């Protein structure tokens, strides 16, 4: 379905008008008409999503949408969203780091694991939710840049691994937490989950910053 129906209307009206006025003006002026017509046709195609479109085509479509363009070209909007994104990332990952350090036995070893989780996890989730929303807006503003970046792809893969790590930990190791809740040294599986989380969150941060500074996919 066309996103901007008025574009199609303009194209139809322009085509009808140029056909009806054929030969009425000098060739140079008609060449200008043809270029304008092609511009409207391209605009109509770019603002239409059709079944079977590739991921690149979808990114090209998003690149030309009004919301992404307004964020990208705004003096204040993009920096404001990026600032919120970075602050939310620092907040949520900072809390997650404390949880991971407890799992691997580096800090708060005198505190039960369940108490650390219950106090810190809700805060981390709130920060992560803000991070996801602001990240989606940043992607919307520069979809082609993200699509062509190896670092963006690496970041998504690492986020997927982190999600799998969290699900596996919650579904298996954490179910037996009553047995090692107050232990200074958690089981091997819990420590592995903590180390994986620390390593890949560090990778996510590095990749996220590298997106803006390094070359894209050729």
Where helices occur in the chain by DSSP H, the ranges are 5-20, 27-46, 55-63, 66-73, 77-104, 113-141, 143-147, 150-171, 177-180, 188-210
**Tens digit of each residue's pLDDT (9 = 90 or more) over 58-90:** 888 878 888 888 888 888 998 999 999 999 999
- Asked if the structure places residue 217 within a domain, the reply is no
Q: Does the pLDDT value for residue 143 go beyond 70?
A: yes
State how many domains the chain has: 2
* Pair (32, 61) in one structural domain: yes
Query: Is residue 57 within 8 Å of residue 50, measured between CB atoms?
Result: no
Instruction: Read off the tokens for 134.
Output: 């602001």
Residues 93 and 149 in one domain: yes
Give the list of residues 6+ apart from residue 98 with CB closer than 8 angstroms, or none.
107, 108, 116, 120
215 within domain boundaries: no
pLDDT of residue 214: 74
> Are both 62 and 36 inside the same structural domain?
yes
Q: What percent of the chain has pLDDT over 90?
A: 51
**Whether residues 140 and 187 fall in one domain:** yes
Last residue of a domain, one of 68, 92, 108: 68
Which residue, 17, 33, 68, sits at the end of a domain? 68
Does 46 score more than 70 pLDDT? Answer: no
**Whose CA is closest to 168, among 190, 185, 148?**
190
For position 27, what pLDDT does the model report? Answer: 45
Q: Give the model's confidence band at 37: pLDDT under 50 very low, under 70 low, under 90 confident, else very high.
A: very low
Give whole-number Cα distances, 217 to 14, 149, 151, 214, in Å. 39, 6, 9, 10
Do 34 and 83 fall within a single domain? Answer: no
Asked if residue 85 is part of any domain, the answer here is yes
Same domain, 132 and 200: yes
Instruction: Say yes or no to pLDDT of 201 above 50.
Output: yes
| Same domain assignment for residues 12 and 102 | no
Domain ranges, residue 144: 74-210
Residues in the chain: 218
Please check whether residues 64 and 95 belong to one and the same domain.
no
55 and 80 assigned to the same domain? no
Same domain assignment for residues 59 and 118: no
> For residues 156 and 111, what is the distance between their CA atoms, to the nearest angstrom?
33
Q: Are residues 39 and 59 in the same domain?
A: yes
């Amino acid at each position: 379905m066309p996103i901007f129906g008025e574009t199609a209307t303009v194209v139809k009206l322009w085509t009808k008008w140029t056909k009806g006025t054929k030969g009425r003006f000098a060739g140079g002026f008609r060449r200008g008409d043809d270029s304008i017509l092609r511009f409207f046709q391209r605009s109509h195609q770019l603002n239409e999503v059709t079944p079977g479109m590739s991921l690149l085509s979808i990114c090209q479509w998003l690149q030309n949408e009004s919301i992404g363009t307004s964020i990208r070209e705004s003096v204040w909007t993009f920096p404001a969203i990026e600032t919120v994104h970075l602050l939310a990332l620092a907040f949520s990952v900072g809390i997650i780091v404390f949880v991971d350090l407890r799992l691997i036995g580096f800090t708060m070893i005198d505190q039960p694991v369940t108490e650390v989780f219950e106090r810190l996890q809700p805060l981390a989730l709130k920060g992560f939710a803000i991070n996801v929303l602001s990240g989606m807006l940043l992607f919307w503003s520069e979809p082609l840049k993200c699509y062509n970046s190896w670092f963006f792809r690496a970041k998504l893969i690492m986020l997927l691994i982190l999600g799998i790590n969290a699900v596996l930990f919650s579904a298996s190791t954490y179910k037996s937490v009553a047995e090692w809740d107050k232990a200074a040294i958690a089981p091997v599986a819990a420590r592995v989950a903590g180390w994986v989380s620390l390593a890949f969150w560090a990778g996510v941060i590095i990749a996220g910053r590298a997106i803006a500074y390094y070359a894209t996919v050729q």
